[in-house]
A and B are shown apart, each in its own frame.
Chain A
């Protein structure tokens, strides 16, 4: 029996009650990045700790991916016949603004400033039958 697995636990932790994004926080200056880097792009410090990011935020900017991404690197279905456009945007979380897929792909239903909540989307089934998931944001209402 397959189960849900994260595309990469380095950025998406799905082991808790709710999924959460993992970024990096500079211990010296407090700057938060997503993902976690070895050094801080703000103060050039190198003392970085992992930080769980908030799950709710607002839409900062968006588009809709209208053509199949090249594979590699894309892990999802990208045959022209199986491909469905998906939203991509930046969501302002309490700590940092992150780029993510959006579950909504209708331009008329996407608006800057709207409330968004973290969720997961299936990317593909791996060789063991696991459902490999990535992070996405959905309208909160």
Chain B
């Protein structure tokens, strides 16, 4: 597949909890690793795009990396922050503004579910009635959405457990993952019910980590690597009227597709391929149910087909369409700024054939990533070699 932009270097700081290490230091570590991988130095980069939701302004990391005067753009786009950093970098090179740049994402969040520090909806000078009443909690949304979906499309509790078991199994083969202990389906089903029908081990947690990707013009990629991975699409979409999204205090009765379906369609159109051409996919798995619904929203199956796809192991590393081969958010946690770039990092490894014990067999050629989050945004990328 043709593309103007290639990924020529990747770097990561392990995900998890890192006492005494700031989020930005984790980002800087990822930058150094990515530069090393591309065989360049920080001084060679013409521009950087950095994203972080809770760990400081990314551009201030130049004081750790070197004051070279490069163009450094900060992005903050909720859960699509990493994807937006990448699409901004992609567009900068595609537009001919620069030949070589870097997309950076990092974060560090406190323990426990994400909480809203300011009212989500208007309060008219009064109390925060929404968060104050015990709503505005992300897990509620995911639980409500999958609970309705399960009834409508025949998805079982066992299938929810299968997704989480697969994530922890894949995570156990990933040295960069936060959670490396595989859990059985029974252990997952018997863990604490946090938001019916979702149990504790079905959820990801806010965490820490950093990822950086060096991008160059495709026609110069071989200067930096023997295995350039081409970026065929990097698309971000927000919600349309009528789609059901996290932190919605109300819904219209008009039923509309969400931002994932919109972003997915646009990305496939840009790349000129369809879902059947994808060999490996990383999909937003805030919890098990999200992965199941996102399989359909991204066009990889019809609603309800997930039940037998999971039963037959079709989304395992050796399956027809491996999904979340690095353990996804469930095993890696979700440092918002880094999460979308982690998916791309994993896909680059898979396409290079360098994913070690979790390598997808049969030489995968096309890889797909998808992030989703508050307040109803999705980012999709398509990579190829």
- A75 adjacent to B250 (CB under 8 Å): no
Q: Residue B250 contacts which of A73, A74, A98 (CB distance < 8 angstroms)?
A: A98
Cβ contact within 8 Å between A74 and B252:
no
Check if A61 sits within 8 Å of B148, measured CB to CB: yes
What is the CA–CA distance of A37 and B145 in the complex, to the nearest angstrom?
A: 24
Known A-B contacts A7-B127, A96-B250; the reply to A74 vs B195 at CB < 8 A is no
Give chain A nearest CB distance to B128 CB in angstroms. Answer: 5
Contact A90 to B251, CB < 8 A, known contacts A7-B133, A112-B151:
yes
Cβ-defined contact, B126 with A9, below 8 A: yes
B308: CB under 8 A from chain A?
no
Q: Are B253 and A134 touching (Cβ within 8 A)?
A: no
Closest-by-CB residue of A relative to B118 is A73
Q: In the complex, which of the residues A61, A62, A70 contacts B115, with contact meaning CB atoms closer than 8 Å?
A: A70
Q: Cβ of B135 < 8 Å from any Cβ of A?
A: yes
Candidate in A41, A99, A112 with the most chain B CB atoms within 10 angstroms: A99
Please name the residue on chain A nearest to B126 by beta carbon. Answer: A8
How many Å from the CB of B304 to the closest CB on chain A? 17
Q: A64, A67, A99: which contacts B135 (Cβ < 8 A)?
A: A99
Cβ of A19 within 8 Å of any chain B Cβ, yes or no, is no
Instruction: Verify A42–B250 contact, CB threshold 8 A.
Output: no
Q: Is the pair A134, B248 in contact by a Cβ cutoff of 8 Å?
A: no
One of B115, B122, B129 near A37 (C-beta < 8 A)? B122
| A41-B112 in contact given A73-B119, A73-B132 (Cβ < 8 Å) | no
In the complex, whether B257 has a CB less than 8 A from a CB of chain A is no
A36 proximity list for chain B (CB < 8 A): 122
From residue 82 to 127 of chain A, which have CB atoms closer than 8 A to chain B?
A: 86, 88-90, 92, 96-101, 107, 112, 123
From B122, B132, B192, B196, A10 is in contact (CB under 8 Å) with B122
Query: Using an 8 Å CB-CB cutoff, how does the interface string of B183-194 with A read, 1 for contact, 0 for none?
Result: 000000000111
Query: How many Å lie between the Cα of A115 and that of B112 in the bound state?
Result: 34
Interface pick from B49-57, B60-68, B136-144, B161-169: B136-144
**In the complex, A35 has a CB within 8 A of chain B:** yes
Complex alpha-carbon distance, A73 and B128, angstroms: 7
Which of A10, A61, A69, A89 contacts B134, CB < 8 Å? Answer: A69
At the interface, yes or no: A129 with Cβ under 8 Å from chain B? no
Contact (A88, B192) CB under 8 Å given A8-B127, A99-B248: no
Instruction: Give CA–CA (A7, B133) in the complex, Å.
Output: 8
From B195, which residue of chain A is reached at the shortest CB distance?
A: A63
Query: A137 in the interface, Cβ–Cβ < 8 Å?
Result: no
Could you list 8 examples of A-B contacts with CB < 8 Å? Answer: A7-B132, A8-B129, A31-B252, A32-B252, A33-B250, A74-B131, A90-B251, A107-B197
CB-CB nearest 4 A-B residue pairs: A73-B131, A63-B143, A10-B124, A34-B250
